[in-house]
Structure 1
Amino acid sequence: MAKVHPNTVISEALAPTPEACGESAVLTVWRKSLLFNCSGFTVFDAKGNLVYRVDNYVSGSRGEVLLMDAAGKPLLTLRRKRLSLGDRWLVYEGEEAANPRFSVKKHLGFLHSKALAHVAPCAPAGARQRAFEVEGSYSRRCCAVYDDRRRRLAEIRTKEAVGGVGFGVDVFRLVVEPGFDSAVAMAVVLLLDQMFSS
């Protein structure tokens, strides 16, 4: 059987910083928790070090997801917005419940559109946050995040083992371009999973 990740040592390093080296960060996302008998996500960097994890995926409420770093420190909390039309989520810093960073809305296109979701900043107008559009097919693990100038910021791709054997949809790559926060890119993955997984 092909290995999902090359290292088994859990690293306490923080998220990869592609802007520090000017290269894209390639993360391996595994749709499985490291905790026994619990579902979630485990994310490794290119060296096989644990970067992110989601262990509280089945906490009894599908309306909240917590993205943590390798050491278990809460990075972002994703909460479903109640009493809203369509599927709308708010993304908060850490475990906060006030002042969301982003609002994410599932695209409800009746026409044939590539759009999956729209990510809008919730910060005051003077802040340097941008809006994003997510396009493609999450079910096929083939989608990308674009900014308002149509520059690709992150991309979800299928992952193949060395011998050409596929891992299926539970193991895939998340490629994050320099300058884009990999934690935000992973939050988008979690939201797509909430919106489009059966």
Structure 2
Amino acid sequence: MTKQILTMGKVHPQALISSTTCNIFTSKQETFTLWMKSLVLNGKGCTVFDSNGQIAYRVDNYNCSHRNEVHLMDQRGMVLFTILKKQYKLSRFWEGYKLPATRNNDQKGPCFRVCKNYSISRWDSTYEVELGLDKNQPYNYKIESSTCKSAYKISDKFGVIVAELRRKKSSCGVDLGDDVFTMVVEPNIDLSLIMGVVVAYSLMKSKM
């Protein structure tokens, strides 16, 4: 655990500062650091830091062999989304539930669903995100990435980018590794929902 804490300090220089409650919606453009590591020793997951180096979100999958059900938590350990892997015929997708859910107890219905769009070009991959399913007010986002780059963007139906992720560099321009990302989120965006989508996408891409 000590080694994990020291490494965390390298990922974000202020990461050892105690965390505070994060906002639900962005009021301005905000920048986060995503470290695709769990703070739990030998665990799977990710840790998200805000621009002050404080922990904002985390995923700690204590059962490393079980990736079909994960939980997105805030810095206090409160579950924000349960994210479940689903399959319908030959199609596989991930769904996010706000209320506690399991693979055998998801009657409340999902808040969002992430699935791969198979009508894609050779070089780019696109994923469709269905949102607002729990309120019967569905709307769509789209995730676009390049196969040759560790970067992707999330945009709305008008093509406006709401969040973008790219490899994080140090102050001197050196890549911090293929498991450390900078995430920029635009104003008036639900942060926890974006994080739920990012977690589902990372699971689909086997990045977590």
**TM-score, normalised via structure 1 length:** 0.86
Question: C-alpha distance in 1, partners of 2:120/2:160?
Answer: 25
Distance 1:15 1:56, change over 3 A: farther
Query: What is the CA RMSD across the aligned residues, in angstroms?
Result: 2.3
* 1:1-198 map, 5 Å: 3-5=10-12, 6-15=14-23, 17-19=25-27, 23-56=28-61, 58-96=63-101, 97=106, 98-109=108-119, 111-112=121-122, 114-121=124-131, 122-125=133-136, 127=137, 129-137=138-146, 140-197=149-206
**TM-score, normalised via structure 2 length:** 0.83
Distance 1:110 1:150, change over 3 A: closer
Checking the alignment, whether the CA contact within 8 Å between 1:159 and 1:167 is kept in structure 2 is yes
Higher mean alpha-carbon deviation, 9-18 vs 51-60, is at 9-18
Gaps of 5+ in 2: 1-6
Give a deviation string over 1:32-91, Cα, whole Å, max 9, x none. 111112121000000001000000164542211110000000001111113442221111
Question: C-alpha distance in 2, partners of 1:144/1:138?
Answer: 13
Distance 1:151 1:133, change over 3 A: same
Q: Give the percent of matched residue pairs that are identical in Structure 1 and Structure 2.
A: 33
CA deviation after TM superposition for structure 1 residue 179, in Å: 1.3
Question: C-alpha distance in 1, partners of 2:148/2:18?
Answer: 29
Gaps of 5+ in 1: none
Checking the alignment, whether the CA contact within 8 Å between 2:83 and 2:94 is kept in structure 1 is yes
Question: C-alpha distance in 1, partners of 2:123/2:92?
Answer: 17
- Tell me what 2:4 maps to: none
Please state whether the residue corresponding to 1:55 is helix, strand or coil: strand
Checking the alignment, whether the CA contact within 8 Å between 1:138 and 1:196 is kept in structure 2 is no
Question: C-alpha distance in 2, partners of 1:87/1:187?
Answer: 17
Question: C-alpha distance in 1, partners of 2:134/2:171?
Answer: 44
Please state whether the residue corresponding to 2:11 is helix, strand or coil: coil
Distance 1:119 1:75, change over 3 A: same
Q: Which AA in structure 2 matches 1:107?
A: N
Distance 1:61 1:7, change over 3 A: closer
CA deviation after TM superposition for structure 1 residue 109, in Å: 3.4
Question: C-alpha distance in 2, partners of 1:110/1:162?
Answer: 36
